[in-house]
A and B are shown apart, each in its own frame.
Chain A
Amino acid sequence: MKEYRYGFRDPEKYVIKLDKGLSRKTVEEISWLKMEPEWMRKFRLNAYEVFLKKKLPNWGPDLSDLNFDDIVYYIKPSEKKSTSWEEVPEYIKNTFERLGIPEAERKFLAGVSAQYESEMVYHKLKENWEKKGVIFVDTDTAVREYPDLVKEYIGTVVPPSDNKFSALNSAVWSGGSFIYVPEGVSVEIPLQAYFRINSQNMGQFERTLIIAEPGSYVHYIEGCTAPIYSTYSLHSAVVEIIVKRGARVRYTTVQNWSYNVYNLVTKRAVAYDDAVVEWIDGNLGSKVTMKYPSVYMYGKGAKAELLSIAYAGKGQHQDVGGKVIHLAPYTSSRIISKSISKDGGRNSYRGLVYVDPYATEANISVRCDALILDRYSRSDTYPTMRVKNSNVSVSHEASISKIDEEQIFYLESRGLDRDEANALIVRGFIEPISKELPLEYAIELNRLIRLQIKGDIG
């Protein structure tokens, strides 16, 4: 137990914190600390071997400053998991208070699950869902309590060998949400989880797995914010979603990482016959984000919807987009990507549309709109289309715009100052996507963007 450091220093009050760096031993230790079954230990160790062999992507943003040896791979903030708000430690509560979480809890009266550092500390699920057989737990708990389900599905949508970061996540993952919705069950109120990094050089590797049985529905929401630190943090999550016949899953993310975070996330869903997958993604903050939510449409009539907003300010590169893989007939997909670049920020849209020869009468629409707020900022699109069936409908539209001075003058003539006018135009620009968010998230997103435009955030 020499490797652990017991940190009680405020604000970093940890029960267990591993030393920096990654080795086979680190991986084993994580698994040991979690008292995991042998199959999970093996899953991790295999993934670690894959991680060593995989190279960093040779495309996209610059990751050369990322040092895997300079990251802490596991922190456990408190021994006991809490199921009620009263049991949550005070210092964590204070952090949540600043993030407005209790308010969200009051408003949603739903299963609120919050992740502080690597471990779930607060977890709650409404009883009526439990009666319906809905499972909403952190993934560590799922490994212990629902091992058969986890074993059956984990790594089937995003295998460790998919890319270097999916391998890394598979080796060192901790926390994340596990959701299982039985056949025909509709979860009316969104399930929410808050993720947060609160330690320097702290990697966060949550693993989320959602299984929607035939004809079911669930909306899962994750929101992230992190404080600012001077050295780089890494966030590398894996999200796997299995949407069976006629089921629908909506996954909403609003992220506002601090400006030193590398946010490298693999999110993928598989959709069977007539299933619907909706990814709604708001990306603010971070130093570099690489994230391309994907939908593999395996079943006839499956539908995919990918809506994303990215904001890149000074020193930030948002490399985001989406992939729609049409593998069956009558499948349809819609991608809408909106990006805002300011103060030298850079946005890249990177998308893939693949239509299999078998996917006849597929329907695809892609729309990318970029708003550039000054001449120092940049926006690019890298769309890839591989359409191997001639009986399909594909549309692709892209626009790059600047804010018109006459729009500003018009708004100023109504009493808005210049910053307010800019923020309002940006708010209107993203509205087609923000209107898909739950109201309080839309308000929060608008507030964050307004602060960014005004330069109130350091």
Chain B
Amino acid sequence: MREEIILDVKDLHVKVEQREILKGLNLRLERGKIYALMGPNGAGKSTLAYAIMGHPRFMASKGSIVFKGEDITELSPSERARRGIFLAFQYPIEIPGITLFNFLRMISNIRDNKNISPIEFSKLLKAKLKLLNLDEDFIRRYLNEGFSGGEKKKSEILQMAIINPELVILDEIDSGLDIDAIKVVSDMIKTIFNENMTILMITHYQRLLDYIKPDSILVIVDGRIVASGGYELIGVIEKEGYNSLEKKKEYERV
């Protein structure tokens, strides 16, 4: 099968409150692959996630984001979502008064551009819940309200399962989870993953990679991707730290 570039980020600059966080970042992701994005605190991992999703405070000051061959740099978050991009939040937002069930039906309708009846959707959802080993009581609760850290992440993955996006950004899906919960959430993600989907998972910890094996590891330091490669990069990071990769990069550039 021909390799398809699903996301092409070119020379992306993003300023947050006058400070440049992404400094000419380049990134190409292929369809059907899983990428891990690693890097030190403040390197711009979450900024990149927001910038791809189109958060108004993280708009590109320079450069472009091309998704499935279309320049989406100026599109709103919802337009990007409707084209197939999904961001699983590090800190999912609470929406009181809206049940997870109703919300899932709403986003499913948006995704499929139709109006599926609650009964029909209920059947569909039950199958998904079973597949993901989730409790049915879960969906009767208000969206993320009073959810534990683990429940919030499960809510994100359930939304992802309903939307079945083409590009998924997992922003520290492992943060705040104990080892058992990481396994559960990882299993859910692996169940949903398919050859039409690309995953970019942002993480601080190598632990997540034990559960979800990426095809490629990307390293971001100071607003740029400084290295990409296979598992050998993990050894380098463990031994020498992220900055060694950046220095190496600078060295290569010279």
Q: Which residues of A contact B (CB under 8 A)?
A: 404-407, 409-418, 421, 424-425, 427-432
Contacts and interface: CB of A to CB of B under 8 A. Distances in A.
7 contacts: A410-B93, A415-B82, A416-B106, A428-B96, A429-B96, A430-B97, A431-B97
B53 interface: yes
Contacts of A429: 96-97
A165 to B, nearest CB: 34
B151 to A, nearest CB: 16
A432 B54 CA distance: 32
Contact of A409 (B77, B103, B107): B77
Interface in B98-115: 98, 103, 106-107, 110-111
Contacts of B95: 407, 410-411, 424-425, 428
Contacts of B76: 412, 417-418
B8 to A, nearest CB: 20
Contacts of A407: 93, 95
B78 interface: yes
Contacts of B106: 416, 424
Contacts of A430: 97
Nearest to A411: B95
Nearest to A412: B77
A415 B97 contact: no
Interface of B: 53-56, 76-78, 80-82, 86-87, 89, 92-93, 95-98, 103, 106-107, 110-111, 142-143, 159, 163
A223 B87 CA distance: 42
A413 B106 CA distance: 13
Contacts of B142: 428
A424 B93 contact: no
Contacts of A406: 93
Contacts of A404: 93
A414 B107 contact: yes
Contacts of B159: 414
Contacts of B78: 412-418, 421
Nearest to B143: A428
Contact of A415 (B89, B98, B163): B163
Given A409-B55, A409-B77, A428-B142, A414 B110 contact: yes
Nearest to A338: B97
Contact of B111 (A410, A415, A428, A431): A415
Contacts of A415: 78, 81-82, 107, 110-111, 163
B125 to A, nearest CB: 16
A454 to B, nearest CB: 14
B87 A413 contact: yes
A225 to B, nearest CB: 24
B130 to A, nearest CB: 23
A429 B143 CA distance: 12
Nearest to B81: A415
A416 B98 contact: no
B199 to A, nearest CB: 16
Nearest to B93: A410
Contacts of B86: 413-414
Nearest to B104: A414
Nearest to B84: A415
A88 B191 CA distance: 59
The 3 closest A-B pairs by CB, nearest first: A428-B97, A431-B97, A412-B77
Contacts of A413: 53-54, 77-78, 80-81, 86-87, 89
Contacts of A416: 78, 106-107, 110
Contacts of B111: 415
Nearest to A429: B97
A276 to B, nearest CB: 25
B93 A427 contact: no
Contacts of B54: 412-413
B207 to A, nearest CB: 26
A424 B81 contact: no
Contacts of B77: 409, 412-413
Contacts of A410: 89, 92-93, 95
Contacts of B87: 413
A351 B86 CA distance: 46
A421 B77 CA distance: 12
Contacts of B81: 412-415
B68 to A, nearest CB: 16
Nearest to B111: A415
B141 to A, nearest CB: 12
Nearest to A410: B93
Contacts of B110: 414-416
A227 B81 CA distance: 38
A427 B92 contact: no
A411 B96 CA distance: 13
Contact of B98 (A405, A412, A418, A427): A427
B147 to A, nearest CB: 13
Nearest to A435: B97
A428 B98 contact: yes
Between B56, B78, B142, the greatest number of chain A beta carbons within 10 A of the residue's beta carbon is seen for: B78
B98 A431 contact: yes
Contacts of A411: 95
A9 B98 CA distance: 47
B178 to A, nearest CB: 25
A43 B93 CA distance: 59
Given A416-B78, A430-B97, 17 more contacts: A406-B93, A409-B53, A410-B92, A410-B95, A413-B54, A414-B78, A414-B86, A415-B163, A416-B107, A417-B78, A424-B95, A424-B103, A424-B106, A428-B98, A428-B143, A429-B96, A431-B97
Nearest to B85: A413
A425 B93 CA distance: 12
A45 B78 CA distance: 62
A407 B110 CA distance: 18
Given A410-B92, A412-B76, A427 B82 contact: no
A418 B81 CA distance: 13
Contacts of A424: 95, 98, 103, 106
A411 B111 CA distance: 13
